[in-house]
């Protein structure tokens, strides 16, 4: 399932790139969400090696230059589901379509996911920031 985790993570990284002294509360204010959500996603970004934070010091730092952070890096850091698309469970095996739908969709969905990941790999945080500040 596609959700807002990717866009929130990119939002966090863009804010940190422009002002590393922002607290999770200030970031949450920009995203208009709860600071707990920001801390949770920031934690995932830290585990992925995209953010760092110092104990006792407000704010975060990027570990790489924004031009070196691909959107695929961010996607992988916060994407919970292994696959973008899910196939419904237990279609009717006695139906011509039902017994074959999973195999047919597996091939198509795998191709679409691969294309999306390739595109995200070709886009960087810097490109997003360039669009923000035109």
The answer to whether 30 touches 17, Cβ cutoff 8 Å, is no
Supply the range of the domain harboring residue 32: 5-132
Which CATH number is 123's domain given?
A: 1.10.10.10
pTM: 0.85
Please give the pLDDT value at position 1. Answer: 41
Q: For the chain, how many structural domains are there in total?
A: 1
Q: Point out the residues of the chain with pLDDT beneath 70.
A: 1-2, 80-83
Give residue-wise pLDDT tens across range 33-71: 999 999 999 999 999 999 998 777 778 999 999 999 999
Q: CA–CA separation, 62 vs 70, rounded Å?
A: 13
Q: CA–CA separation, 5 vs 41, rounded Å?
A: 8
Distances (CA, A) of 115 to 65, 108, 122: 25, 11, 11
């Amino acid at each position: 399932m596609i959700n807002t985790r990717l866009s929130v993570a990119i939002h966090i990284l863009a804010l940190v790139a422009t002002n590393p002294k922002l607290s999770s509360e200030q970031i949450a204010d920009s995203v208009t969400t709860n600071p707990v959500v920001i801390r949770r996603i920031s934690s995932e970004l830290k585990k992925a090696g995209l953010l760092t934070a110092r104990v006792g010091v407000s704010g975060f730092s990027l570990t790489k230059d924004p031009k070196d952070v691909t959107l695929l890096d961010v996607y992988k850091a916060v994407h919970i589901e292994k696959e973008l698309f899910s196939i419904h469970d237990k279609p009717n095996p006695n139906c011509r379509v039902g017994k074959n739908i999973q195999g047919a969709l597996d091939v198509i969905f795998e191709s679409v996911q691969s294309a999306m990941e390739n595109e995200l790999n070709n886009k960087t945080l810097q490109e997003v920031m360039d669009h923000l500040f035109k």
